[in-house]
Amino acid sequence: MKKIIFTLGLLIATVAFAQAQMDILNDSVRVIRPKKRLSPIAIASYKKGDTYIKITYGQPFKRNREIFGALVPYNQVWRTGANEATEITLTKDVKIGNHILKAGTYTIFTIPNPDEWTIIFNKSLGLWGAYDYEKVKAQDVLQVKAKVSQTKDMYEAFTIKLTEAPYGVDMELIWDRTKVTLPIHFIE
């Protein structure tokens, strides 16, 4: 009987000790929830036939700031959004200007200016912003010019649209009252 009481007491002490250790462990474990991004991830996509275009970008907001020429300086390479550099995926070759852009995934950089932007398609992927652009510049596959226009409406969030056109789509980059349009021709 003494043996049973001793074993039972030892068992109770072991369970109590284990519970105390679990309480200590639970107090030391913190669940880390990611902060809400100030510039959430956004996606623009368009599909016609077997041609599919998807653009993934960080969507910054104006927040009462002056955008082009200030927050986004003129004549400097911009990531074309926020956070990670913007990426475009094409399932088929397309024609931009007089150039063919092969199917694949590319980073989109831009060089904003008041009247005309340079749009850059680069093979390097997984970049944070445009900070390393000079290191990956040799991987540019296409640079084209695009005209700037002004919108009547103010866009609080940087927005990329793929708008249907008779030849394919227009890639529109819109923020504040600035709109840049790049025609993308589908190849049949």
Q: pLDDT tens digits, residue range 103-122? A: 999 999 999 999 999 999 99
pLDDT by residue (tens digit) across 88-106?
999 999 999 999 999 999 9
Q: How many CB atoms lie within 10 A of CB 107?
A: 24
For 129-159, letters b (16+ CB in 10 Å) and e give bbeebeebeeebeeebebebeeeeeebeebb
- 110 and 137 part of one domain: yes
- Say yes or no: 88 and 139 in one domain: yes
| Shared domain check, 86 and 170 | yes
Instruction: Specify the DSSP element, H or E, that contains 168.
Output: strand 168-186
Instruction: Say what the pTM is.
Output: 0.80
Question: What domain count does the chain have?
Answer: 2
Domain interval for residue 169: 41-186
Helix (H) or strand (E) holding 167: none
Residue 151 and residue 174 in one domain = yes
Give the chain's residues under pLDDT 70.
1-35
129/173 same-domain check: yes
